[in-house]
Amino acid sequence: MTVTRFSPHKLTMAKTQLLPQAEMLEKGQFFRKLSIGIPREINMFENRVIITPEAVKQLISKEHSVFIEKGAGERSNIKDEQYRKSGARITSKEEVYKCTTIAKVAPFNKKEISLLKTNQTIISSLQPNTQTSDNIRNLISKKVTAIALELISDENNFYPFAHSTGEISGILAVTIAGKYLSNYHNGRGILLGGITGIPPTEIIIIGTGAAAEYAARAAIGLGANVKIFDNSIAKLERLKNKLGVQVFTSVFQKQLFTKILKNADVIIGAVDTNGSPLQYNITDSMIKKMKTGSVIIDLNIDNISCFSTSVVTDFGNPIFKKYGVIHYCVPNIASEAAHTASISLSNSILPVFMKISEQNRAIRIIKENTEIRNGTYIYKGILTNAELGNKFNINYKDINLLTAVL
């Protein structure tokens, strides 16, 4: 009689294969090992890097592979050696773009899109107001799955990337406004804030989200007189309670707003990510009535601005004047504090990588993960974002309907 013998190793594997799927997930059998590429930013005005050595270390501990282009963290004061010690492989741009998942901060430009392979997953900012039809069509032709950082949101309508970036942008908006009010930058020569015997600076903030909140905190801390506008009474009340001080709040009424605008030294556009800046529509005729040398900081310029006079600028030439009013319209303002901003981005991107690795098929990731589904604007070469479709006259499909039939 023939006796079949099993080695202990084979017996263990056989038992594993008989486990229910839920138990296999618990034991980590279905976790994909990701190949993650982090390229150096081509945009000379983008100083941030999307992941820190600490996050790399956690990914490596889960047996993922991380390939970082040489010098990717330099402008955030993170050295290649720090990444190397965390387990990342420091390599060339060409090698980085061979990875199955590519993540960066700035939107992919024409040159970067040309380096992509088919069927990759890419993660970056989208910044709809800076996009071109050619870039979107080229991404579609590559059949990538594209996820926008600022669109990632959970079932409670919380946007982790937009929130963390908003905190930084709000604080920076006030410090930048102060800089351009000074004589050094040909401003009005006034101090942003208030001192004994002199009326405080007048600052208007449009919006009630994270950027608006942190701008208000910074301005109030300096002693400025802050007025906040939003179209939601509930959000205004919630923000006032968060600030813990009595501050002027109002729904946006054109007549009242125009009257207050005449005396403003600074106006900060900081409408929530899930709000509509178009509801506020600050027109040319309204801006003409502002004081010469006053400052507009447009934190919505990367999406849809509430100022009719706004035009996208960059750190090389960050401001322009129109009707005597200084406009600051840099879309990646958080890059002014690149090291802090990179840590914040990294804290938010790490859970995304972990969730992507939990499924063995891309469609399951989109179907079963609310945050990633909401952030996806292209799925395997199919545009799923209505705003981009309408803007560039490209056919699109609703992501929820698309995943329902796949």
Q: What is the DSSP string of 125-184?
A: ---GGG--HHHHHHHHHTT-EEEEGGG---TT---HHHHHHHHHHHHHHHHHHHHHHSGG
Res 157: pLDDT: 87
**Do 123 and 102 meet the contact criterion of CB atoms below 8 Å apart?**
yes
In whole numbers, what is the pLDDT of the chain averaged over residues? 89
Instruction: Kindly report the pTM of this predicted structure.
Output: 0.86
Within 13 Å and on the Cβ side, how many CA atoms surround 200?
A: 14
Condensed to tens digits (0 to 9), the pLDDT of residues 289-337 reads: 999 999 999 999 988 889 999 999 999 999 999 999 999 999 999 999 9
- The SS3 assignment for 14 reads helix
Pairing between β-strand 101-103 and β-strand 376-379 as defined by DSSP bridges: unpaired
Closest to 36 (Cα-Cα) out of 109, 105, 103 = 103
Residues of the chain with pLDDT under 70: 1-31, 273-278, 360-362, 406
Res 194: pLDDT: 80
Hey, what CATH class is 166-331 in? alpha beta
Condensed to tens digits (0 to 9), the pLDDT of residues 41-56 reads: 999 999 999 999 999 9
Which CATH code fits 26-157+338-405? Answer: 3.40.50.720
Residue type present at position 275: G
Measure Cα distances from 188 to 273, 295, 389 in Å: 32, 10, 43
Task: Tell me where in the chain the CATH 3.40.50.720 domain(s) lie.
Answer: 26-157+338-405, 166-331
Measure Cα distances from 222 to 16, 170, 171, 179 in Å: 62, 14, 11, 14
If 0-12 CB within 10 Å is exposed, 13-18 middle and 19+ buried, where does residue 72 land?
buried
